[in-house]
Amino acid sequence: MDANDSPPARLGRFVEPFASVAEVAASDGEPHWMLGIRKAGLARFAEQGLPTLRHEDWRFTNLAPIEALPFRPLPRPQARAVSVADLDRLSLAGMSGLRLVFVDGHFAPELSRIEAVEDKVQVRGLSQTLRADGAWLEQQLACWHEGQDRAFRALNDAYCTDGIVLHVSAGVAVAEPIHALFLSSGIEPGLASHPRNVLVAEANSRVMVIEQYASLGGAATFTNTLTQLVVGEGAQVEHVRFQDEGPEAFHMGALRAVVAGSAQLAAHSFALGARLSRQNIGLTLAGPGLEAILNGLYVTTEKRLADHHMVVDHAQPHCASHEYFNGILSGQSRGVFHGRILVRPDAQKTDAKQTNKNLLLSNSASVNTKPQLEIYADDVKCSHGATIGQLNPESVFYLRTRGLPVETARRMLIHAFAGEIIDRVQCGPVRQALDRLVWDRLERDAQVRLDAAAPHS
Amino acid sequence: MSTPQSTIDQFVQSDYKYGFVSDIETEALPPGLDEEIIRAISAKKREPEFLLQWRLRSYRHWLTMTEPSWPKATYPPIDYQKIIYYAAPKPKAQLNSLDEVDPELRRTFDKLGISLDEQKRLTGVAVDAVMDSVSVATTFRKELAKQGIVFCSFSEAVREHPDLIEKYLGTVVPYTDNFFAALNSAVFSDGSFCYVPKGVRCPMELSTYFRINTANTGQFERTLLVADEGSYVSYLEGCSAPMRDENQLHAAVVELIALGSAEIKYSTVQNWYPGDKDGKGGIYNFVTKRGLCRGRGSKISWTQVETGSAITWKYPGCVLLGDDSVGEFYSVALTNHRQQADTGTKMIHVGKNTRSTIVSKGISAGRGQNSYRGLVQMRPTATGARNFSQCDSLLIGDQCGAHTFPYIEVKNPTAQIEHEASTSKIGEDQIFYCNQRGLSKQDAVNLIVNGFCKEVFRELPMEFAVEAQKLLGVSLEGSVG
């Protein structure tokens, strides 16, 4: 951070484009109340600015590079930035079912497939919903409090242009996964997109949503996405956030979920790309007897950083929450994990478990992990664990005694380590696609292939 | 649910047995803090110039710092100008033998179970007793001196071994370290000093007993322990304070230095006045303790039993600088009524093949809030380092809290770290089983709690282990009906 830069001057570039974004949004027929949300967001952001390393939640994640970046939100979509052929090159391209494509934060209907929407299910872009069903959306947007993603939430409030809005009515089971693809054109540095997703699954419904983030060009873009998820009573929701942006991209992602009683939520996060990525996950367990799984895998190379922060708030009795996060780190990359399980006084019979395992493949990779428990109820079962280390030499040795070359042995163990997480994705086709992708990605990494010297061979 | 509920509701306070006030004349400086007070403290203790300058530097640095707000504890702001920074029992003439110690003072220590000459005759533990701010008596000095061991009050050490003090003071906990360490460095009045020369195995347990007696005083003692190459020393620390309605501040600094192959074992039974059952009064125990394993193969082991204090804020840590050095931390922290404890450890691995073990047992009862906060850091140079951490919490009653905040930072891939934590309560079935075998509910709870803490008690020297078990029993008295 530049010491001479006073805070308002530093923040100026985040404030300047606001007038044009707000003006364009209003001229496109956005309801008036949305301008209020935007202005309030901008004011909150201007007040606090980006968090610094002094902030406990951001101790290990330096946001200075984002601050140094130009900040260019696009009020309107760029003409012909992306073609259908571009999409075919991406992973998960072969998936059938509904697909919504957003380019630099704007819905691209010509690339999307939303014809076959089932009855009682609404899938639309945010900007369209704002015009068509504003009252409902206003209600949805109003009911969220701020979490640890404060600054980015505020920025998203101010600048969000589009995103997926999903409303599944009570008792409806959506057969195929709904795929939302967020692309950065990556043409010029500083292009900023602020997707805002609103997902509502009413009581006893069932749905799976995949949010995929990818880049086409290599410029240093900035994505600041926020998903609000409401899981109704007895509903079953699976949510995948698959972040695979370009090696220079900055990705700030938030998932804020409120889960009602007896529901089941599985939220997966796969962080494979971006120079710096952060997932803020806030989960409020608002009804008794529900089950929630947070599951994540981060694979980092070179000088990248992947950060996962989550707060699971057990507010009701008889809930189970399990968090599993594995990281595979090579090069000079860094992994950051912060998990906090909060068990409130009334949340008796809570079953909460949190694990964070890290595999270091190089000498200069590093990990900072903080698995935390905060417990105010006595009749609970809570545990957490964290491990950091290399591949277990004994496991490698065992496989070698069975006749496997050291390279194969290592590869098997690393794949198994990633597989633990991937296996928890319930939807078959998605699981297989991710599995292939992660394996390909690992195979490309020299430190997995063991071109580097093996410390225990 | 009715049985355990009613059981737990009857969590009545046990009396704090050390809450008496001794009627000893004290000489105190007026409350408040400025450079004049620091000069006065230094002059009273006839300190050399370097120490005064160090105090003043500390004070000036302290002025630039703000009180930390991150601990998981809530308390009203402390007015640092209302504290008496220096209070000493009178008369303060040079003592040649125990017989010269003020009889009232000796009765105080007798009541505490630290009868100075009893100890001397029977248990063979050398004791340095610190009342309010000043060390009042040190036993067994001659015997220790025969082996070249220096064990005396800090002020004596300043007068008699200024070279050692100047060499080691502040090398482990610099005055810039944190707010309370800076405050301590500016105003510390006494404490213990120990130096064990090369290759000497200290023949007895060394012990310091701290007592806050005067109202409105803060106690700011400083302990410095240096174990030279190949030596061994085991050190015990105990403390208590009278029951008072206002909160008193205890901000101590302990520095341990282990040179090559030396071993230091530091045990604490902390029993400051915890306040009454509504949280009125009690000691704020804001302590900085750190050990430096400077030489190859050195070892520092911290064992602590924390049952007292309204608020405990302490993280005894080890900096494992020498290759193959070992750090250990065993802790039992009990919070009852409205006590708050935010305690844990820091293990900083720098040298190759360094090892550390952390076993932390937190027990929360009543409305107590117990937090484990620990840092394990593997620096890039810590090849082959290992850490094992285990934090277990036991909850008794539904109004208490148990929290775990581990920080793990690894910059070396050959390092191996394991961290485990669990939270549980005393099960109805466990108590029922004990009842069946003829144990009362209270005995069952004591039994279960002691079993829960066994791994830590095992590390305590014998005399302390017995005391710790009793203390835990007393603190839990009436926890069940």
Integer Cα distance of A136 and A157 in angstroms:
17
Rounded CA-CA distance B26/B69 in Å is 34
- pLDDT given at position B145: 82
Q: Hey, is the C-beta of A166 within 8 angstroms of any chain B C-beta?
A: no
In tens, the pLDDT along A103-120 reads 888 888 888 888 767 778
Is B105 within 8 Å of B62 (Cβ atoms)? no
Nearest to A378 among B397, B410, B418 (CB): B397
CB contact under 8 A, B419 and A385: yes
For A130, phi and psi rounded to 5 degrees? Answer: -55, -40
Picking from A186, A350, A205, A182, the residue whose alpha carbon sits closest to that of residue A265 is A205
CB within 8 Å: B421 and A366:
no
What is the residue-level pLDDT of chain B in tens, covering all 481 positions?
A: 334 433 333 433 445 656 555 555 566 777 778 888 888 888 887 888 888 888 888 888 888 888 888 777 788 888 888 777 777 665 444 444 455 555 655 555 555 554 444 444 434 455 566 655 555 555 667 778 888 888 888 888 888 888 888 888 888 988 888 888 888 888 887 788 889 999 998 887 787 766 655 555 667 888 899 999 999 998 888 766 555 566 778 888 999 999 989 999 998 887 777 777 777 777 888 889 999 999 899 999 998 888 877 888 889 999 999 999 999 999 888 888 888 888 889 999 999 999 999 999 888 888 888 889 989 999 999 999 999 998 888 888 778 888 888 898 898 888 888 888 888 888 778 889 999 999 988 888 888 888 888 888 877 776 667 777 777 776 666 555 4
* Arithmetic mean of pLDDT over chain A: 86
Chain A contact set for B403 (CB, 8 A): 372-375
Q: Is A381 on the interface with B (CB under 8 A)?
A: yes
CA distance B179 to chain A (A): 17
Predicted local distance difference test score (pLDDT) of residue A456: 43
Give the one of A56, A358, A455 whose C-beta lies nearest to B414's C-beta.
A455
Rounded Cα distance between A122 and B123, Å, is 81
Structure token digits, residue A124: 């639309």
Interface check A83 vs B, CB under 8 A: no
Asked if the Cβ–Cβ distance from A390 to B380 is below 8 Å, we say: no
With CB atoms and an 8 Å threshold, state whether A388 touches B424: no
Residue in A with minimal Cα distance to B397 = A378
Nearest chain B residue to A328, by CA: B413
pLDDT score, position A255:
93
Q: Which of B412, B413, B418 sits opposite A387 (nearest CB)?
A: B418
Q: Who among B407, B410, B418 is closest to A360 (CB)? A: B410
Chain B residue with minimal CA distance to A376? B401
Closest-CA distance, A338 to chain B, in angstroms, reads: 9
* pTM (two decimals): 0.80
B416/A381 touch (CB, cutoff 8 Å), yes or no: no
Alpha-carbon distance of B389 to B394, in angstroms, equals: 17
Tell me the per-residue pLDDT of A418-440, one tens digit each, with 9 for 90 and over: 999 999 998 888 898 888 888 88
Q: Look up the ipTM and state it.
A: 0.73
pLDDT of residue B240: 61
User: Do A291 and A317 meet the contact criterion of CB atoms below 8 Å apart?
Assistant: no
Q: Is A344 on the interface with B (CB under 8 A)?
A: no
Chain A: give the shortest CA distance to residue B423, in Å: 5
Contact across the interface for A385 and B403, Cβ inside 8 Å: no
Establish if A394 touches chain B: CB-CB under 8 angstroms.
no
Strands (E), B70-160: 87-89, 126-131, 134-138, 150-153
Q: Among partner residues A348, A382, A388, which is closest to B408 by beta-carbon distance?
A: A388
- A-B C-beta contacts closer than 8 Å: 114
Give residue ranges of B with CB < 8 Å to any A CB: 70, 378, 380, 393, 395-425
Q: Chain A partners of B69 at a C-beta cutoff of 8 Å?
A: none
Chain A residue numbers with beta carbons less than 8 Å from the beta carbon of B445 are none
Any B CB within 8 A of A318 CB = no
Chain B CB contacts of A389 below 8 Å? 413-417
Task: Work out the minimum CA distance from B116 to partner chain A, whole angstroms.
Answer: 43
Residue B395: list chain A partners with CB under 8 A.
375, 377-378, 380
B-chain CB neighbours of A353 within 8 Å are: none
The DSSP annotation for B360-389 comes to EEEEEETT-EEEEEEEEEE-TT-TT-EEEE
Contacts of B249 (CB under 8 A, 6+ apart): B78, B83, B218, B219, B283, B284, B286
Report yes or no: A379 at the B interface, CB cutoff 8 Å. Answer: yes
Report the pLDDT value the prediction gives residue B262, as an integer from 0 to 100: 93
Cα–Cα dist B224/B231, whole Å? 16
What value does the mean pLDDT take over residues A312-337? Answer: 92
Distance from CA of B422 to the nearest CA of A (A): 4
Q: For residue B42, is it left (φ>0), alpha (ψ between -120 and 50) or beta?
A: alpha
The confidence score (pLDDT) of residue B67 equals 84
Model pLDDT for residues A319-330, shown as the tens digit of each residue: 999 999 999 998
For residue B395, give the nearest of B452, B313, B310, B444 by alpha carbon: B452
At residue A132, the pLDDT reads: 83
Exposed, middle or buried by CB within 10 Å (0-12, 13-18, 19+), for A235? buried
Contact call for A385 and B415, based on CB within 8 A: no
Task: Spell out which residues of chain B touch residue A377, defining contact as CB-CB under 8 Å.
Answer: 395, 398
The beta-carbon neighbor of A375 closest among B403, B408, B418 is: B403
| Closest to B403 measured CA to CA, from B73, B49, B47, B56 | B73
As a whole number of angstroms, the distance between CA A190 and CA A367 comes to: 28
